[in-house]
Amino acid sequence: MKNVLKRSIELLNLLSVNPSISTENIKDNILDYRDLSEQSFRRSFERDKNLLRSFGYMIDYQNDKWSFEKGYTLSGNSIFETINNDNDIDIHKFFYTYFYLKKYLSSGNMDSDKSEIIVKVIKSINEKRRVAFDYLKEYRKVKPKGLKYYNNKWYIAGDENGTVKTFNLNHVKNLKLGNKTDLFDIDVSSFPFSWESEKLLTEVVIEINNDIYEVNKNMFTHNVIKKKISGDNLNCKILTNDNLGLVKFFLLSDTKIKVIKINNTKEIERLLHE
């Protein structure tokens, strides 16, 4: 675990200061990779990429046909460097908290193989991007409205041609994010899943360091209804139907967050102490 943590931080630091870097340079610049055989390096690198991807960091290989630029680039939570340089934040504790959460969620029958799709769906909802995917041998284009873990399965609720439909994540393959943001609005007045008839949105008012919010916001799907920024602090009112993601957000932001008001406390307490 210690080696994985060390490599992950080194990999993030390396990609943060290099807009495009080759596989060979990654192997040469990270000591734990350097003495590995090519096959062992590939296995370790893929495991580390998958771990960081599940944490919200997208590491993709770019090959721009219009220029000579090619190599791995980092996207997603791009202000990791700010966190790493903040003396008030213990970066090792930050990662160990994630490892704890990963183990905790796995014990609840969470499917870690879906982590990349989940990260992309959360990003698409928060940034209001359209997604496209293969679903039961059909190609679908959807404006995602919500993501929910229900009865040991993940579901996406999305608008397809003007109709809100529910998609079982087990059947979603080859999901791609659209390039354009702010394509649609999300109605937060009703719960978008077909099996729910009640309004079960969790309402939270929090005070948090704005940088910490920005780096952790894609841990869960939500809408910011009101917000006020004063210096480095953000005071905001959030509505969400992703209670499991909200708990992850609370735990990862533990040292820099104050919960001023919250409804649906029994459900949140159950998830925290289960």
What residue segments make up the domains of the chain, in order of their start?
Answer: 2-76, 112-177, 202-273
| CATH 2.40.50 applies to domain 202-273 | no
Q: What pLDDT digit, counting tens, does each position of 220-257 carry?
A: 878 888 999 998 899 999 988 778 788 888 887 766 68
Q: Check if 2-76 and 112-177 are the same fold.
A: no
Residue 126 banded pLDDT, cuts 50, 70, 90: confident
Distance CA 204, CA 170 (A): 30
Angle at alpha carbon of residue 252, lines to 250 and 254, rounded to 5°: 60
Q: Are 35 and 43 in contact (CB under 8 A)?
A: no
Q: Are 154 and 114 in contact (CB under 8 A)?
A: yes
Q: Are 79 and 211 in contact (CB under 8 A)?
A: yes
Mean pLDDT of 9-23: 79
Question: Thinking of the domain 2-76, which architecture would CATH place it in?
Answer: Alpha-Beta Complex (3.90)
Instruction: Please give the mean pLDDT across all residues of the chain.
Output: 76
pLDDT at 148: 79
Distance CA 269, CA 274 (A): 8
pTM over 0.75: no
pLDDT at 139: 94
Own/partner contacts of 173-178, CB < 8 Å, gap of 24 or more, are 173/133, 173/134, 173/135, 174/133, 174/134, 175/117, 175/120, 175/121, 175/131, 175/132, 175/133, 176/131, 176/132, 176/133, 177/120, 177/123, 177/124, 177/129, 177/131, 178/124, 178/129, 178/130, 178/131, 178/132
Q: What pLDDT digit, counting tens, does each position of 60-89 carry?
A: 776 654 444 567 776 654 445 555 666 666
Tokens of 175: 């999901």
Residue 20 has pLDDT above 50, yes or no: yes
Mean pLDDT of 5-19: 78
Distance CA 176, CA 196 (A): 27
Distance CA 252, CA 213 (A): 10
CATH, domain range 112-177: 2.30.30
Give the amino acid at 132.
A
pLDDT at 102: 57
Q: Are 210 and 69 in contact (CB under 8 A)?
A: no
The residue length of the chain stands at 274
Q: Are 141 and 132 in contact (CB under 8 A)?
A: yes
Q: Are 228 and 236 in contact (CB under 8 A)?
A: yes
pLDDT at 135: 92
